Structures are given as C-alpha cells and as structure tokens.
Chains A and B, each alone.
Chain A
Amino acid sequence: MLEFPRWKVWLVVAVVAIGVFLSIPSLIAGTPAASAWPKWFPQYKISLGLDLAGGSHLLLEADASDALKQRLQAKEDEVATELRHDPRIEVGDISTAGGKLSFLVRNPAQVDAAVERMRTLTQPLALTGKRDWDVQVLDSTRIVLTPTPAGTTQALKDAMGVARDVVRRRIDPSGTKEITVITEGGNRILVEVPGVEDPEALKKLIGQTARLEFKLVDLSADQQQVQQGHAPPGSQVLPMADGSGFIAVKRRVMVSGDQLTDAHQGFDQDGRPDINIKFNSSGARRFGRTTQENVGKPFAIILDDKVLSAPNINEPILGGNAQITGNFTVQSAHDLAVSLASGKLPVKLNVIEERTVSAELGADSIHKGVIASIIAVLGVIIFMLVTYGRFGVYATIALVVNAFLILGIMAMFNATLTLPGIAGFILTIGAAVDANVLINERIREEIRRGRRLIDAVETGYHEAFRAIFDANVTHVISAAIMAYFGSGPVRGFAVVLLIGVVTSVFTAVYFTRMLVALWIRRHRPRELHI
C-alpha cells in the first residue's frame, strides 16, 4: 500500500497535468482569455454538437429511380456519340423505356459491329468479373443494354462520392466553414452545418440537381402535336420552367454543364439578373461550332429537364462565354450559379431527416447545463466531505481531476459534446463517487473488524476494486453498444460515458490511493477518522 515509488507519483502527476493542460483551450473558448493562449500550444478543442452550438442537421438519401434515370441518360449520350463515330452506324431512336436502353440497327449487316462497339462501352467490375451493362440482341436487329445489379450498386457508390463533394461545394463554396458532409450506409449523406438556423436555404441549394444542357429547338415539330407531348423522331418534348407550355428540342446535346469552368450571377442589358457562364476549351469549341452552324435559329437552355429559355442565336458565340437568361431573381440566379459552378449532382437527393436548433436555444442549453452540472458537483462534493472527512477531500480532488481528464481526452480526440453528453458527464461523476464510496465503506468495515489502519486501508482498496471493476465493465458494455448503434446525441452520451469510465477508475482508485499513501507515509497516523 505504501509502496508508491517516486516515479509512479510523478507519472500520475504528469498525466493529471497533461489532462488539465489539454482541457484549457476548450474551457476558455469564446472568452477573452482565448487570445492569451499561445498559438504554438496544442489547440485541441472539444467541438459542440448542433444541439448546443445551434445549426442544421440534414440527412439526405439518394433517389434510386433518379439515379437510374441519370445513368440511362448518360449512357444514352455515350451510345449516340459512339455510333456516330466512323464508320457510322445508322440506328433508330434510342429508347430508355423499362430501365433499359434499346435501339434498332437499320442495316442488319452492322448488327455485329454495333454489338462490338457497345461492348467497348461497358466496364468490368472489380472482383466480381461481371460488367456493368449487359449487351443483348433481340429479334436480330434490336440491341438492348441492361444495367446489371452489381453495376448499379457500383454506380450508386461512385455517384454518392461525387454527390458528397458537390454538396460540400454548394454549401461552402469558399471551403472555409466547419461543416460536416459525410456519406452514410451507401446511399445517404449526412450534412451538419453549425450556425445555420434556417435550413430552407440549404435545402434549396441541395435540392437542385443542376443538370444544365443546351439543345437546339426542333422547328420542324408540329406545335399542336408538341403540346400533346408528341415529338418527331430524334426530338423530345420538354416543359417550360415557367409553366407556359411545352417545347420540342433535338435529343442531341450541343453542350452540357459538365463543360463549365465557372458560373456567376450577373445582369443582362435590361438589368435583369442572369447567370454568366464560361465553358472549358472543348466545350467552347463545340458551342462555337454549333452556334456558327445555326445562326438565326433558337436553342433551348435546359435545367433539370425543364427549359429555362429558348433564345435565338443572333451570332456565333465563339469565346466560350455565354449568359443564361430566364425568370430569375438575384437570389435564385445566385443560387443557380453556385449550383452550376459546383457541378451537377449525379443523383437527386431527398431530405429524409432534418433537425435544427437555433443558436439562442443552444446557448440557453449550455448555460443551464453548465449551471446544473456545477450545482450537482458541488452537492456531491459537500456530501462526500461531511460523510468521509479527509477521505472525502481526496474523493473531491479526484472528482475535479476526473472532470479535467474527461475534457482533456475529449479535446484530444476532438470529440463532440452534446446535451446528452452533459448528462453522461454527470453520470460519470456518479460512477466515480460510487467507486470512492465502495472503497471508503469497505475501509470503515475493515476498521470495525479490528484491522490496523494500514491493513484496513489496504484491504479496503483491494476488496473494493473487484466490484468497481465489474461494475465499470458493465458500463463499458452498454456505452460501447450505444456508441455503435446510437445516432448523434446518443452517441455523444456514450462517448462521454466511455471516456469517463476509464478516467473515473483511474482517479477514484489509483489517484486517491496515491494521495492516501502519501499522507500515511508522511504523517504516520495512528487512527483513521473515516
């Protein structure tokens, strides 16, 4: 018991000092004292959960049917381009009905060549040995491309990775905010933005796929047919964004938003908000060539399958700069510009969970939580002091050290403190007190049985430790399960509990034992007042 070599004492002191040191930045954050903390000191800080800091939490889920639709569209463009290559293969309209691409090869002699060319468009999938599309020939002239399930899964995974980056760029174009955007479970994205109290603006930014396409207007189409939704071969009918009817456009894409390098909000010559866009070199070339060949004809600016406007090509647009006009306000033009500049979402995202807390409510929660914690701890301390005297003092010091260690370790792992985390903190204090109660009651008992002082203290610590250990293992089991299954706030609770269990065993058992040992060694008491 009294064997407490000097190096062990210093080790314990060092651990405690490091804990206190690491917890300081978190404690002084937001106060004037924060600026006094030297820059070259460790800056580990506990981050506050959205329930304390205020902000928005959104859980987005990929729209599976839209993912398939976008994938089919992309493949359709690829197929059309491939077939136009020399030697050109003449085909009928490419159909996307039933989640498959299919088309008729006009010259039966070219069917084999077409199948061969289609095969080059499919990719092998890693590990499985399968390809992402199945190519089949039906009725000897119809070629059908079917997405394979494995290919769909892989495509969704790739799309989510891109979508995550797009979402991040849209919410935080400058890349300076402390936002969280992570993919979860294959088809979800979790977005946490501190400080944003109105998630509507966020939802608008994320809600738009922002697939921009320029296509020529099909002037040969019969207007009456078009309004009924019938388009001539090689064209399609699209609705106008302002709801003013339908318009027929050529299926072939002149140039798409993928080839943008920049987009920002501006004004047209009449002072109405518009969006200035800039193409990359290949996009600029294609746009220039098509506009040159079609001067005097209208082209459609299409966003997410709706036609924003269909201006006339007055002159060839060669420099790669263009304006998108439509019915915009400054805000909507700005939002669209941000969306366009950040790229299109490879899949539409639906908001399936939303939680928002205002900064005021968060601050109020912190305030009440901190006051409650302080009063609770003070109450416990007073109770310990009147119950155990000197040993109560040791328990109290252990409690305070425990609090610092928890904060320090949380800061080191950059853990998030949530409201339930504060409850977890208080519960941890309870566990630490319980350990001391177990020890001290056992010492009382051993003294009653007539053991000598040192013997009683030693037996007390030894016998109590078994129960303390078992009890804390049960805490660890439930905390670990919570951390694994829990979401957001519950996980915050579990993390504090998990860290607290470790630190409270260290402080309540090891640290107090050291204090007691040092005291006994120095004063050699004959009697124990406990």
Chain B
Amino acid sequence: MKLLKLVPDHTNLDFMRWRNVALVLSLIVTVISIGYTVYRGLNLGIDFVGGQVIRVEFAKPVHIDELRTRVDRLGVGEASIQALGNQQTYQVRLPKPEGPETASNAVVSKLRATIPQVYPGARVDAGESVSGKVSEELAQNSAIAIALAMLGIALYIWFRFEWQFGVGALLTLGHDIAMTLGFFAFTRLPVDLNVVAAFLTIVGYSLNDTVVIYDRIRENLRKYRKMAILPLLNLSLNETLARTVVTSLTVLLALGVLMLIGPQVIFGLAIAIFLGVVIGTYSSIYISAPVLVWLGVEPDSFLKSEEKDSAEAQPA
C-alpha cells in the first residue's frame, strides 16, 4: 500500500522571504482586531455581565416576533431572542434587572412560570441566572486565569530555551489571543465560560506548535554552527513542515466534526479552538520564528549554554 504523504520529502520553501510581508500583515490585522474589540466590545454572555437566559422548546413552531411581543409584555427588560436551528427552539436572554442580587433570579422564575401558560406544551429546557456579583467574579477569575496561563507558559519556555524564545512565545500568544478576540467581536458570537476554556486551549495549542518548531531550531543551532540564521530558520521550518501539516489537519478534522454535528451548547468552544488552531499554525511559523531574528538569536547565541550542557549533547 502506498502511504499518503501530504508534504513531499524534501521541501525547501523560503518561508523567511515573506517574513516582513507577513509581519506587516499580522500587525495590521492585530491592530484592527484589538481596535475593533475595544470599539465594538465583545458580546459577553450572562456569565460575565449577569442576567438570565432560558432555552425553550415549543410544541409547535412559534414566530419570533410573536414571542418577542409576549416576552416584552412581561416587563422584565429588553429581551434578545435567538432561534436555535428551527422555529421550535428559542433562546431568550434578558438583561440583569435593577435592584438587589436576588432580582435576577425572580425574573427567571417569572418566565419559567409564564411560558408554559401561554404556550401549552412548551418546555423550559435550560435556565440560567447569574447575579452581578457572581458575574464580576467569573470575569475577573477568567482574566486572571488567561494571564497566568500565558505567563506560566512563557516562563517555562524561557527556562527550557533562551530568553528570546520566551519573548517570542509570549508575542505569538498575544497575536493569537488578539486575533481570536477580534473574531468574537466581529461575529458577535457570545463569549461565555466555555469560550474561556477555549482561549486557554488556544494558548496551549499555539504554544505546542511553537515549542515543536523552537525545539528544532535549537537542535539545528547546535548542529550547524556556521549556518546563517535565516537559512537555519527555513531549514527548521521545512523539516517540521510535514508534522505541522499532519497534526493541524487531524486536530481540525476532529474539531470540525464537533463543530458541525456536536451539541449546540459547545459550538462556541469548538469554533474558538478550531480558529485558534488555524491562527496558531500560522503564527508559529510567521511570528515565533522571525521574532528570533529581531531579538538577535545568532548561530553562536546557544554556544555558551551549549558548552555547559555538553553532557546533553548527542554524538553525531
């Protein structure tokens, strides 16, 4: 049987030739992403701003405008209503009401009681209510978690490699996070707790890619001490290209399935990770590697530590 080879054996692509173009492009998109996120804001779910969401399954198709009128008549605030797939399943979201922490909860009780009365056979499938206090804490904890994860991983890379690699990893991460934020700001997909898990996963995955490439760069820096830095980066990227392609494709394949036929509730999580993998693959080539050039990694910059580490060196 002939085995599938997505990437031919001896590729010699000149990745670094495009590094300045890629950098300018990345910079522009990053700036636009951050700017748009700041300007437009994220569509934060009730997890982070408080409020309530219920998911109702009706016995018969219901028109969205009719439902909206009915909910508005309850006088519990401006509802945002979204159809989930067909005309029988809706998600109704209400803003956090004024007043004490418990007010939010009372609104859900009211909706829960009213809907089956007006629409016989309707079933409240899921209901969530988050008070302002809890949502503030969740938002704060999530921000801390993402920042800590980024920092922790960058420190680990610094510890395992050289400081330039740590900085490179951190810049790559910043780029990926900015892009993903921009995506969520642009598509208005709700950002909930699951998406935070996705962000942390993107951080992990993008780093995974970067680490694999950095590992090869380190290996080649030790192996080819006379080679200039640009050809060396190209060589490393070409050597790991097959792995980059195969792994990214498999993960995208698995996530794509989850996104298309998996439970609707984790669509946000799946699409965020999917996107993160695409961005992470790009950035590990065009951000992580070129950054090393600008930070002055030279073929001999590993020498000192190399000599100290000679116990670890492999006989050629």
Q: How many A-B residue pairs have CB under 8 A?
A: 230
Name, among A353, A387, A466, the residue most crowded by chain B CB atoms within 10 Å (CB to CB).
Answer: A353
CA distance A354 to B1 in the complex (A): 57
Which residues of the other chain, B, contact A430 by a CB distance below 8 angstroms?
A: 247, 250-251, 254-255
Which residues of the other chain, B, contact A371 by a CB distance below 8 angstroms?
A: 261
For residue A447, which residue of chain B has the nearest CB?
B9
Say whether A203 contacts B105, CB under 8 Å: yes
Say whether B243 contacts A438, CB under 8 Å: yes
Say whether A481 contacts B141, CB under 8 Å: no
CA distance A346 to B264 in the complex (A): 42
Q: Mark B236-261, 1 if CB is under 8 A from A, else 0.
A: 00011011001101110111011001
Among listed B27-35, B73-81, B205-213, interface-contacting one: B205-213
Q: Which of B130-162 contact A (CB under 8 A)?
A: 130-131, 133-134, 138, 141-142, 144-145, 148-149, 152-153, 156-157, 160
A384 to chain B, nearest CB (A): 8
Say whether A444 contacts B265, CB under 8 Å: no
B278 to chain A, nearest CB (A): 14
One of B142, B211, B266 near A467 (C-beta < 8 A): B211
CA distance A364 to B239 in the complex (A): 44
CA distance A445 to B5 in the complex (A): 13
Which residues of the other chain, B, contact A470 by a CB distance below 8 angstroms?
A: 156-157, 160, 211, 215
Which residues of the other chain, A, contact B203 by a CB distance below 8 angstroms?
A: 478
Say whether A485 contacts B142, CB under 8 Å: yes
Say whether B251 contacts A530, CB under 8 Å: no
Which residues of the other chain, B, contact A486 by a CB distance below 8 angstroms?
A: 141, 145, 193, 196-197
A24 to chain B, nearest CB (A): 25
Say whether A353 contacts B134, CB under 8 Å: yes
Q: Which of A418-460 contact B (CB under 8 A)?
A: 419-420, 422-424, 426-427, 429-431, 433-434, 437-438, 441, 444-445, 448
For residue B102, which residue of chain A has the nearest CB?
A350
Among listed A257-265, A288-296, A335-343, A373-381, interface-contacting one: A373-381
CA distance A164 to B222 in the complex (A): 61
Q: Which of A137-173 contact B (CB under 8 A)?
A: none
For residue B112, which residue of chain A has the nearest CB?
A200
A352-B134, A360-B123, A474-B153 known; A423 vs B266 contact (CB < 8 Å): yes
One of B109, B144, B208 near A471 (C-beta < 8 A): B208
Q: Which of A391-434 contact B (CB under 8 A)?
A: 419-420, 422-424, 426-427, 429-431, 433-434
A387-B4, A444-B242 known; A485 vs B141 contact (CB < 8 Å): yes
Say whether A419 contacts B253, CB under 8 Å: no
B296 to chain A, nearest CB (A): 23
Say whether A489 contacts B247, CB under 8 Å: no
Q: Is A356 an interface residue (CB 8 A)?
A: yes
A353-B131, A433-B251, A490-B196 known; A427 vs B201 contact (CB < 8 Å): yes
Q: Is B6 an interface residue (CB 8 A)?
A: yes
Q: Is A102 an interface residue (CB 8 A)?
A: no
A158 to chain B, nearest CB (A): 23
CA distance A419 to B242 in the complex (A): 33
For residue B147, which residue of chain A has the nearest CB?
A481
Say whether B134 contacts A380, CB under 8 Å: no
Which residues of the other chain, A, contact B300 by a CB distance below 8 angstroms?
A: none
A389-B1, A473-B156 known; A353 vs B254 contact (CB < 8 Å): no
CA distance A477 to B150 in the complex (A): 9
Q: How large is the interface on B (under 10, 10 to 19, 20 to 34, 35 or more residues)?
A: 35 or more
Which residues of the other chain, A, contact B201 by a CB distance below 8 angstroms?
A: 427, 478, 493, 497
For residue A359, which residue of chain B has the nearest CB?
B125
Q: Which of B90-125 contact A (CB under 8 A)?
A: 100-102, 105, 108-109, 112-113, 123-125
Say whether A482 contacts B197, CB under 8 Å: yes
Say whether A481 contacts B134, CB under 8 Å: no
One of A369, A434, A477, A493 near B197 (C-beta < 8 A): A493
Which residues of the other chain, A, contact B261 by a CB distance below 8 angstroms?
A: 368, 371-372, 375
B146 to chain A, nearest CB (A): 9
A376-B258, A387-B6 known; A478 vs B211 contact (CB < 8 Å): no
Q: Is B269 an interface residue (CB 8 A)?
A: yes
28 A–B contact pairs at CB < 8 A? A203-B105, A352-B131, A354-B127, A354-B129, A360-B125, A369-B262, A373-B258, A375-B257, A376-B257, A383-B249, A387-B6, A389-B1, A426-B258, A433-B247, A433-B250, A434-B247, A434-B251, A437-B246, A438-B247, A448-B9, A470-B156, A473-B156, A474-B211, A477-B156, A478-B152, A482-B200, A490-B196, A493-B201
Interface residues of B (CB under 8 A from A): 1, 3-6, 9-10, 55, 57, 100-102, 105, 108-109, 112-113, 123-131, 133-134, 138, 141-142, 144-145, 148-149, 152-153, 156-157, 160, 193-194, 196-197, 200-201, 203-204, 207-208, 211-212, 215-216, 219, 239-240, 242-243, 246-247, 249-251, 253-255, 257-258, 261-266, 269-270, 273
Beyond A441-B246, A474-B157, A529-B3: 14 further Cβ-contacts under 8 Å?
A355-B126, A383-B249, A387-B3, A430-B251, A430-B254, A434-B247, A434-B251, A437-B243, A438-B212, A478-B204, A486-B141, A486-B145, A487-B141, A490-B193
Q: Which 10 A-B pairs have the closest CB atoms?
A: A372-B262, A485-B145, A376-B254, A430-B251, A365-B263, A471-B208, A376-B257, A467-B215, A352-B131, A478-B204
